[in-house]
């Protein structure tokens, strides 16, 4: 059963500038944004095969999430467009009531289908 899930990965892309520009966001707040984005995309696409497999009880020991970073909101929107144009289901998360686009998350997907699209991004630090 484990090998059936081994390539499913959920990707999160966070804005790096939220840590540095203006009034920096606390690390915990950024982690919460990533969590909100993952929950949102999995809820929006709850009938997607990848979401169903990834969130199944049997797959819980195999959860794989990669958190990447982009420089700013413009870059985040560009990557959202790239994913959308390549038919990768994702969700931009917007912090309310401030209306600040903070991050995006993909549905859990075979990493071979999305890896080349995100290969220039670095791990969020």
CB 116 within 8 A of CB 9: no
Distance CA 51, CA 108 (A): 6
Record the tokens describing residue 101, joined without a space: 């686009």
pLDDT band at 4 (very low <50, low <70, confident <90, very high): low
Superfamily of domain 2-112: Bit1 (3.40.1490.10)
- Read off the pLDDT of residues 10-42 as tens digits, 9 standing for 90 and up: 999 999 999 988 889 999 999 999 999 999 999
Q: Which residues, 6 or more positions from 91, have their beta carbon under 8 angstroms from its beta carbon? A: 37, 40, 41, 44, 104, 105
Mean pLDDT of 75-92: 97
Other Cβ atoms within 10 Å of 77 Cβ, number? 14
Record the tokens describing residue 58, joined without a space: 């049997």
Distance CA 35, CA 110 (A): 20
More confident residue, 1 or 75: 75
Q: Which residues, 6 or more positions from 70, have their beta carbon under 8 angstroms from its beta carbon? A: 13, 14, 15, 16, 76, 78, 79, 121
């Amino acid at each position: 059963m484990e090998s059936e899930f081994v390539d499913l990965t959920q990707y999160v892309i966070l804005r790096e500038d939220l840590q540095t520009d203006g009034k920096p966001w606390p690390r915990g707040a950024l982690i919460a944004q990533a969590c909100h984005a993952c929950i949102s995309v999995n809820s929006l696409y709850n009938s997607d095969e990848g979401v169903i497999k990834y969130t199944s009880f049997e797959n819980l020991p195999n959860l794989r999430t990669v958190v990447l970073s982009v420089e700013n909101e413009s870059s985040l929107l560009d990557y959202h467009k790239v994913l959308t144009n390549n038919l990768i289901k994702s969700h931009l998360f917007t912090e309310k009531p401030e209306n600040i686009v903070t991050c995006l998350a993909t549905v859990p997907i075979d990493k071979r289908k999305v890896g080349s699209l995100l290969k220039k991004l670095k791990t969020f630090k």
